[in-house]
Amino acid sequence: KGALRGVTDGACVTIGTGIGVGLLLNGEVYRGAHGAAGEIGYWLIGALGPIARAEGYGPLETFAAGPGIARRFLARMRALGRPSMVLDLAGGREEAITARLVAEAAAQGDPLAMEVWRETAEMVGIALANLCSLIDPEVLVIGGGVARAPEPLFLEPVRQIIETLVPYPPRVVPSELGEEAGILGAVATVLDSRRDSISFVRAGVGG
C-alpha cells in the first residue's frame, strides 16, 4: 500500500516503542514458522550481550528503540553531571525526556544529544546492513517514531552505512504511510483471511 508497492523482495523496519521488521519475499509476506519472523529487536549487535535469554525487550530494541534512546541519554546526562538542552525541552523533568526531545536537541546542536543519536544511527545501520546482506531486498523502508527524526540525524547515516557494507545495497526510503501503516496492515490481513476462507469453501474444503 505504500513504499513497497510493486516490489517483489523488500523489507520494512519500524522503530518506535519497539523494533520490528516486515519481510516481503518473492512477492509474499514472510511470517516464519511461528508468525514471529522479523524480530530483529532480539539481535545481539557488537558488545550488546551478554548471551542470555532476553526478558522483555531484546538487546537491540533496548538500545535503539525510543524508550532505549531516552534511557541512554538520561543515564549519560546523570553520569556526566552536566545540564542539557533536552532537560530544558522536557520542562526540567527527567521523566518527561523522550527520544523525540533528544532528536530535537540534537538537531539544535546539543553535544550530548548528538552523541546519543550518532550511536543510535550507527547501531541501527549495522543491524539493517546485516539484514540486507541476508535477504537481498530491492527496497528497505524505514518507519516509526524514531525514524521521524531529522534525516541528517538518522536516515542519512543509516543509508550511508548500508551502502558501505552491503554487497548489493537496496534503496533505503522513509515510510509513506506513517501512523496509518498498522491500521491498513490489520485491515489487509482480515481481508486476506476472508478471501482464503471463501476459496476453501468454494473448493469444497470448508463447511
pLDDT at residue 58, as a whole number:
83
Mean pLDDT of the chain: 87
Which residue did the predictor score with more confidence, 203 or 88?
A: 88
Give this prediction's pTM.
Answer: 0.85
Write out pLDDT tens, residues 16-54. Answer: 999 999 999 999 999 999 999 999 999 988 766 666 676
As a whole number of Å, the CA-based R_g of the chain is 19
* pLDDT (0 to 100) of residue 182: 64
**Partners of 13 in the β-ladder:** 21, 142
pLDDT of residue 19: 94
pLDDT for 56: 67
**pLDDT on residue 46:** 75
Per-residue pLDDT at 55 exceeds 70: no
**To the nearest whole percent, how much of the chain has pLDDT over 70?**
82
Percent of the chain with pLDDT over 90: 71
Residue 65: its pLDDT value, please? 95
Mean pLDDT (whole number) for 75-103: 94
d(CA 84, CA 164): 33
Q: Rounded CA gap, 154 and 103, in Å?
A: 9
Report the 10 Å Cβ neighbour count for 185: 16
For residues 130 and 1, the answer to whether their CB atoms sit within 8 Å is no
Q: What are phi and psi of 8, to 5 degrees?
A: -90, -40
User: Is residue 185 a contact partner of residue 141, using CB atoms and an 8 Å limit?
Assistant: no
Residue 131, pLDDT > 90, answer yes
- The pLDDT, as a whole number, for residue 201 is 42
